[in-house]
């Protein structure tokens, strides 16, 4: 078990909202080493006491089910240092904090780069010049690069950091892989069989994979305006869900590594021509409006996306994206996978909508009685597969997924890690789309915040 977790980006939203609660949950459950140490590095000029106070506030906000007194041991071993993650001297100074026993022993360590995508490459290069503990693991958050070229560069930089004894030293985090419903998609065959259906194109008209949110930008312009809906969630989360559906059932003879099997599915994606990009992809961004009146968005009024603080309107960043893909396999021939992601929409939906033939028709986003909805936000399982939830029922599924990711990382596993080749192949799928969008082959349209999305999303593009 790894004894030390170093988090670069420790003062950021991801750490406060998900990583700290995951660590705290593992601590109170007794699943961490008694000598576990959390070392934070961030851009805030805080003392260690100030960082501990910040961490306690975030845990009270995002993990209120954990009693503060149960975390005294965790906070006693918590360290912090202000650091520029791209500066080699600063990075070396943080790593010096993890030595124990007067410097005679280096603790088993994981380094988590909870950073914006644009900083990952420079951070990896800074780590190359630092003396890291033997057996160190490096975790990085999706998206893995900004496009295929930068994904390759990031992989090379991470490989230069990793010890020479194996690729498992690099842990590429896409937490959707740790969500219960996504893990259970591997058991779709059981559920298809119970419905008297085949797995594949003859019974399934098309499959919609949705990541629709009622929230708007929420102060994330520094990251989101350089990413957009496609890079933020479609190129990773939605593609991972598609692969979970598309990979053939595991047998004793061809189990292989999960990342290798997902890579096989990605190789089978039919590349889109420029004409097909124009026909089978959509992009739009929200304009001023009132968000949905739900627990997340709370009916707030928001301005045009381009008027949000930190947004550069010259980037033409999309807040809504839709791409239709097909796989060149016997199993899924004729089945369209409709990937759709958007912000500031009228309702939150994250999951898979399977539309069966012959009743599945185009031109509507409403769920009909004969459709099959699998909600990735709710780990209750789906037809034919028993739901299970062994962790606290008070936590949302996204938080539970991070508990599983952090536990897997610290225990030496790679169950929820994206492979290097897989990361590059995922970008290859969308390279024709991004290049065509850069040439304005597909117009950037708009939709009012709080609406069902752009009108063309409800037309018969699929």
Q: What's the CA gap between 405 and 18, in Å, rounded?
A: 11
pLDDT at position 32 over 80: yes
Q: What's the CA gap between 280 and 206, in Å, rounded?
A: 14
pLDDT at position 393 over 90: no
pLDDT category, 91, cuts 50, 70, 90?
very high
Is 34 buried (19+), middle (13-18) or exposed (0-12) by CB count in 10 A?
A: exposed
User: Taking a C-beta distance cutoff of 8 angstroms, is the pair 356, 371 a contact?
Assistant: yes
Please compute the mean of the pLDDT values over residues 355-369 and round it to a whole number.
55
Stated as kind and residue range, the H or E segment containing 224 is helix 221-224
The pLDDT of residue 107: 81
User: Taking a C-beta distance cutoff of 8 angstroms, is the pair 204, 335 a contact?
Assistant: yes
The pLDDT of residue 349: 94
Q: Which DSSP string do the residues of 90-113 spell out, in sequence order?
A: HHHHHHHTTEEGGGTEEPPEEEEE
More reliable by pLDDT, 197 or 242: 242
Please compute the mean of the pLDDT values over residues 251-263 and round it to a whole number.
74
Q: What's the CA gap between 78 and 49, in Å, rounded?
A: 9
Q: Would you give the distance in Å from CA 259 to the centre of its chain?
A: 15
User: Taking a C-beta distance cutoff of 8 angstroms, is the pair 443, 449 a contact?
Assistant: no
Q: What's the CA gap between 44 and 271, in Å, rounded?
A: 44
pLDDT digits (tens, 9 = 90+) for 110-154: 999 999 898 999 999 999 989 898 889 999 999 999 999 999 999
pTM: 0.89
Stated as kind and residue range, the H or E segment containing 435 is helix 420-438
Domains located in the chain, CATH noted: 4-173 (3.40.50.720), 176-392+420-458 (3.30.360.10)
Is 307 buried (19+), middle (13-18) or exposed (0-12) by CB count in 10 A?
A: exposed
pLDDT at position 251 over 80: no
Q: What's the CA gap between 370 and 277, in Å, rounded?
A: 30
The pLDDT of residue 190: 62
Q: Distances from the Cα of 209 to the Cαs of 32, 131, 153, 163, 187, in angstroms?
A: 36, 43, 29, 37, 17
The pLDDT of residue 162: 80
DSSP label at 254? Answer: S
pLDDT digits (tens, 9 = 90+) for 410-436: 999 999 999 999 999 999 999 999 999
Q: What's the CA gap between 171 and 415, in Å, rounded?
A: 10
Q: What's the CA gap between 426 and 263, in Å, rounded?
A: 8
Q: What are phi and psi of 340, to 5 degrees?
A: -140, 130
Q: Find the DSSP H helices in 250-295.
A: 258-267, 274-280
Listed residue (453, 433, 440) closest to 281, CA to CA: 433
pLDDT category, 46, cuts 50, 70, 90?
very high
Relative to beta strand 204-212, strand 281-287 is unpaired
pLDDT category, 233, cuts 50, 70, 90?
very high
More reliable by pLDDT, 125 or 164: 125
Q: What's the CA gap between 414 and 173, in Å, rounded?
A: 10
Q: Distances from the Cα of 182 to the Cαs of 60, 252, 258, 285, in angstroms?
A: 29, 21, 13, 28
pLDDT category, 195, cuts 50, 70, 90?
low
């Amino acid at each position: 078990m790894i004894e030390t977790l170093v988090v670069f980006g420790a003062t950021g939203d991801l750490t406060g909202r998900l990583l700290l609660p995951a660590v705290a949950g593992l601590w109170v459950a007794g699943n961490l080493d008694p000598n576990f140490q959390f070392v934070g590095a961030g851009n805030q000029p805080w003392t260690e006491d100030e960082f501990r106070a910040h961490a306690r506030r975030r845990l009270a906000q995002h993990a209120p089910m954990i009693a503060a007194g149960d975390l005294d041991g965790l906070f006693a071993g918590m360290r912090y240092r202000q650091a520029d993650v791209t500066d080699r001297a600063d990075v070396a100074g943080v790593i010096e904090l993890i030595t124990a026993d007067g410097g005679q022993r280096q603790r088993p360590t994981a380094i988590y780069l909870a950073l914006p995508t644009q900083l990952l490459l420079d951070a990896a290069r800074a780590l190359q010049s630092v003396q890291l503990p033997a057996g160190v693991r490096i975790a990085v958050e999706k998206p893995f690069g900004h496009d295929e070229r930068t994904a390759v560069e990031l992989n090379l930089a991470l490989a230069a950091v990793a010890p020479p004894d194996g690729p498992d030293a690099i842990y590429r985090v896409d937490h959707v892989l740790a969500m219960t419903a996504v893990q259970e998609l591997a058991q779709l065959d059981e559920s298809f069989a119970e419905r008297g259906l085949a797995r594949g194109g003859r019974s399934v008209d098309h499959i919609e994979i949705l990541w629709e949110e009622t929230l708007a930008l929420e102060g994330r312009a520094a990251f989101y305006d350089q990413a957009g809906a496609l890079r933020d969630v479609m190129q990773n989360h939605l593609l991972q869900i598609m692969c979970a559906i598309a990979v053939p059932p595991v047998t004793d003879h061809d189990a292989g590594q999960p990342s290798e099997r997902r890579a096989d599915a990605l190789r089978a994606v039919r590349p889109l021509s420029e004409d097909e990009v124009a026909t089978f992809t959509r992009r739009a961004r929200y304009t001023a409006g009132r968000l949905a009146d739900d627990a997340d968005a709370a009916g707030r009024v928001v301005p045009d996306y381009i008027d949000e603080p930190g947004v550069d309107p010259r980037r033409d960043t999309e807040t809504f994206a839709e791409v239709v893909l097909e796989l060149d396999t016997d199993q899924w021939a004729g089945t369209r996978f409709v990937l759709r992601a958007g912000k500031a929409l009228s309702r939150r939906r994250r999951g898979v909508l399977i539309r069966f033939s012959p009743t599945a028709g185009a031109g509507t986003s409403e769920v009909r009685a004969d459709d099959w909805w699998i909600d990735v936000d709710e780990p209750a399982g789906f037809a034919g597969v028993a739901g299970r939830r062994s962790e606290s029922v008070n936590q949302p599924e996204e938080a539970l997924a991070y508990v599983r990711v952090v536990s897997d990382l610290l225990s030496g596993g790679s169950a929820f890690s994206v492979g290097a080749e897989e990361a590059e192949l995922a970008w290859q799928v969308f390279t024709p789309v991004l290049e065509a969008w850069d040439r304005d082959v597909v117009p950037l349209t708009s939709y009012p915040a709080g609406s069902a999305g752009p009108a063309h999303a409800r037309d018969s593009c699929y």
